[in-house]
């Protein structure tokens, strides 16, 4: 009888283990839902006084580029729609006054925070390339759950004293 109870207890604990390893559920940012319409999203953004600064098409998907969402260090958000259904949100974070070290530190801290919430991410990009005088670096991690995947990227392009740095989070419906 003791062996049976021990087996049942082990099975119960193993059933709980995946949930403990995954951590929290990855949620769609700003309380939106996958499949949300562009109009409903725009109406919500107007209530927080954010503004659509550009509308474009990328790989046959319509994209709304939005600025002014009140969130610390958020520079812009790109909302991707398949048809009229929200399919992806890309968030760009940073500060124009930061140097490469500050961006790297912010990236590392963001990755550690996400690892703590959702479990260990896996490396999906780590490359340095040179195109002419421009040195480009791309580092990326990914977390995947049942309904949403999250990717974190740090992209830098440097040419002498000039540089472009972008830290982005990409939430995608699965």
DSSP 90-150: EEEE--TT--HHHHHHHHHHHHHHHHHHH---EEEEEEEEEETTEEEEEEEEEEE-SSEEE
Q: Does the predicted model carry a pTM greater than 0.75? A: yes
Q: Give the model's pLDDT for residue 154.
A: 98
Residue 12 has a pLDDT of 38
**DSSP string across 86-101:** EEEEEEEE--TT--HH
| Residue 10: predicted pLDDT | 39
User: What's the confidence (pLDDT) of residue 60?
Assistant: 95
pLDDT score at 23: 80
Segments in the chain below pLDDT 70: 1-22
Q: What is the 3-state secondary structure (H, E, C) of 20-37?
A: HHHCCCCCCHHHCCCCCC
Rg (CA), the chain: 20
């Amino acid at each position: 009888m003791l062996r049976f109870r021990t087996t049942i207890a082990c099975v119960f604990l193993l059933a709980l283990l995946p949930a403990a390893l995954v951590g929290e559920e990855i949620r769609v940012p700003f309380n939106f839902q996958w499949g949300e319409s562009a109009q409903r999203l725009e109406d919500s953004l107007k209530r927080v006084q954010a503004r659509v600064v550009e509308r474009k098409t990328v790989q046959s998907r319509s994209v709304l580029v939005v600025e002014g969402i009140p969130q610390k260090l958020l520079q812009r958000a790109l909302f991707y729609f398949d048809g009229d259904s929200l399919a992806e949100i890309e968030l760009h974070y940073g500060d124009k006054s930061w140097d490469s070290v500050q961006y790297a530190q912010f990236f590392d801290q963001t990755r550690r925070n996400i690892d703590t919430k959702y479990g260990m991410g896996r490396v999906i990009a780590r490359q340095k390339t040179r195109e002419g005088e421009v040195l480009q670096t791309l580092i990326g991690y990914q977390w995947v759950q049942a309904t949403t995947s999250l990717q974190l990227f740090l992209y830098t392009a440097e040419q002498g004293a000039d540089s472009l740095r972008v830290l982005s989070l990409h939430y995608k419906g699965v």
